[in-house]
Amino acid sequence: MASKKILVIHGPNLNMLGKREPRIYGTTSFNDINKNLLNLGKKLGIVVDTFQSNHEGAIVDKIQEASQKYEGLIINSGAYTHTSIAIRDAILLIKAPVIEVHLSNIYKREPFRQKSMIAEVATATLCGFGHDGYYMALEALARMLK
């Protein structure tokens, strides 16, 4: 049987993880998070593709492409979470489960971070678990796809 494929999208500034505000986002690097996701995917029998962009339109393009190719999506849209109706609208194209992830607990932070444009259109949201949130999301998707 062909392996299931899922996509992980990382939004703006997440390529700086490890160096960026480590007190809030932790010290694990962006590359290590992606490696851990790929390795966990192998254990779960899921092919994991990753994509990062600092550009809203590039993220929209990737989500449109994903609607044809993947059986699940994990997305941390970074600061666009709080502003992007375009990313929200693109997510509505996806029939597969979509898990929104944030390293920090956005509901405990500044008021402008407490509104997510994505939450209402995602299947589920995980926030406040640091980088573990990505792995938890992948495990949850693996269960949903069984």
Nearer to ligand DQA by Cβ, of 36 and 104: the residue is 104
Taking CB under 6 A as the rule, does residue 54 contact ligand DQA? no
Taking CB under 6 A as the rule, does residue 78 contact ligand DQA? yes
Taking CB under 6 A as the rule, does residue 9 contact ligand DQA? no
Taking CB under 6 A as the rule, does residue 106 contact ligand DQA? yes
Helices 132-145 and 30-44, axial angle in degrees (round to 10): 20
Is residue 10 annotated as part of the catalytic site, yes or no? no
User: How far are the Cα atoms of 47, 86, 97, 112 from residue 92, in angstroms, in the given order?
Assistant: 23, 10, 11, 23
Nearer to ligand DQA by Cβ, of 3 and 31: the residue is 31
Taking CB under 6 A as the rule, does residue 126 contact ligand DQA? no
Single-letter amino acid code for the residue at 83: T
CA dihedral 85, 9, 11, 95 (to 10 degrees): 10
Is residue 107 annotated as part of the catalytic site, yes or no? no
**Active site amino acids:** 25, 102
